[in-house]
């Protein structure tokens, strides 16, 4: 079995910087046409000038023949100005602003402490500029259980935000609960959407503990109950335009994952397309895969769909146990396991198309 899809985009990607950027960027560029690049570096990407410079670093890290396009974002802080939003829109390279509640995840210490008290003028300017707000949807109150933080954030932050600024385009990123599914489905199409990761479609929270503590399955937001996973799968495979691909691929060197205080993040770039295909096949919804991977995202952002193609072949392949680099090793998601869908792009996809056409002509 083979599938030909419009080349997907990744609407939530961490590429890091320096040696890690050089190591991981080619893996995303191999399969995706574009990606929304997360700004949580040290220091964070808080200005348009910094976003432009980071974009240049990404382009330099790509293979010479790559057509991958990084779509940059700004890191929202308590001191971001409305004028910075104007500069971002006029730059032509910044496509969204990211909201990290302070302390919610990796390198979020500079995030927002009071969204309505300190950021309202910026949010109003974003409405004027049609600039989407990308949300890490978790509260950081230590009194709130880690498994409830997404629901509490919806109730206390996102619902009031949508009511106050109904024309603000909002993407709730890496949703993990049926509460998030219901919230996104309740909003106005074209103004409220969600990205979904492969890990939250395939794994539940048991994957953190089976056979011992599994640090390479640890991410934020943390994996949830099986009932939540099933709700997300149902939403994504329903054909709804409100949900689209966002891997949240977040690489860390092996020793930073396997230590007494391991980092949150799953490096899924090499396997994401294969895993999404697995989910849609098991749901009997392969006919809806292309919209999720390739249409819903650009349509929400008001960008053209890609014209290049990617081919998925039903052929078993083994995920590497580890990826080795000069600075150390990175463990990919599903390391050492066998997957059933293998993607190929560019010349390989074209060659497969040509082979099929020749065979059809002979027949």
Which of 9, 10, 110, 248 is catalytic? The answer is 248
Q: Supply the DSSP string of 200-228, one letter for each residue.
A: HHH--GGGGTTTS--GGG--SSPP--HHH
Active site residue 98: yes
Which of 27, 174, 216, 311 does the annotation list as catalytic? 174
350 token code pair: 């074209």
216 is catalytic: no
Name the 3-class secondary structure at 269: coil
Residue 352 to residue 23: CA distance in whole angstroms: 28
Instruction: Report CA-CA distances (Å) from 305 to 295, 311, 361.
Output: 6, 17, 30
**Other beta carbons less than 10 A from residue 143's beta carbon:** 5
Active-site entry in 98, 224, 257, 278: 98
DSSP H/E element including 87:
helix 82-91
Whether 12 is catalytic: yes
DSSP states along 172-184 = E-S--SHHHHHHH
Active-site option among 27, 136, 224, 311? 136
248: annotated active-site residue: yes
CA torsion, points 48, 49, 52, 57, in degrees to nearest 10?
A: -130
Catalytic residue flag (residue 228): no
174 is catalytic: yes
Instruction: Tell me the two tokens of residue 85.
Output: 């939003």
Owner of token pair 């790509």:
62
Mind telling me the catalytic residues? 12, 14, 98, 136, 174, 248
């Amino acid at each position: 079995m083979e599938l030909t899809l419009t080349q997907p985009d990744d609407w939530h990607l961490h590429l890091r910087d320096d040696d890690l950027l050089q190591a991981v960027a080619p893996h995303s560029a191999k399969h995706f046409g574009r990606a929304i690049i997360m700004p949580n570096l040290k220091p964070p990407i808080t200005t348009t000038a910094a976003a432009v410079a980071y974009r240049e670093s990404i382009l330099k890290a790509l293979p010479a023949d790559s057509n991958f396009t990084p779509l940059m974002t700004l890191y929202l802080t308590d001191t971001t100005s409305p004028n910075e939003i104007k500069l971002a829109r006029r730059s032509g390279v910044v496509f969204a602003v990211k909201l990290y509640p302070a302390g919610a995840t990796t390198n979020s210490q500079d995030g927002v402490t009071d969204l309505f008290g300190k950021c309202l003028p910026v949010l109003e300017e974003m409405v004027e500029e049609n600039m989407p707000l990308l949300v890490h949807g978790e509260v950081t109150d230590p009194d709130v259980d880690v498994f409830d933080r997404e629901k509490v954030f919806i109730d206390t932050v996102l619902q009031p935000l949508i009511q106050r600024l109904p024309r603000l385009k909002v993407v709730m990123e890496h949703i993990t609960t049926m509460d998030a599914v219901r919230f996104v489905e309740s909003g106005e199409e074209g103004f409220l959407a969600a990205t979904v990761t492969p890990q939250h479609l395939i794994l539940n929270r048991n994957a953190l503990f089976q056979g011992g503590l599994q640090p390479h399955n640890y991410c934020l937001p943390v994996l949830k109950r099986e009932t939540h996973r099933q709700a997300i799968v149902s939403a994504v495979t329903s054909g709804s335009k409100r949900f689209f691909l966002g891997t949240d691929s977040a690489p860390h060197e092996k020793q930073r994952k396997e230590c007494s205080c391991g980092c949150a993040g799953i490096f899924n770039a090499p396997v994401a397309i294969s895993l999404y295909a697995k989910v849609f096949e098991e749901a009997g919804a392969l006919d809806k895969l292309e919209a999720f991977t390739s249409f819903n995202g650009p349509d929400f952002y008001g960008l053209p769909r890609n014209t290049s193609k990617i081919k998925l072949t039903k052929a078993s392949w083994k995920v590497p146990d580890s990826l080795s680099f000069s600075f150390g090793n990175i463990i990919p998601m599903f390391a050492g396991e066998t997957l059933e869908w293998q993607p190929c792009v560019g010349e390989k996809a074209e060659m497969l198309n040509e082979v099929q056409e020749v065979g059809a002509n002979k027949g």
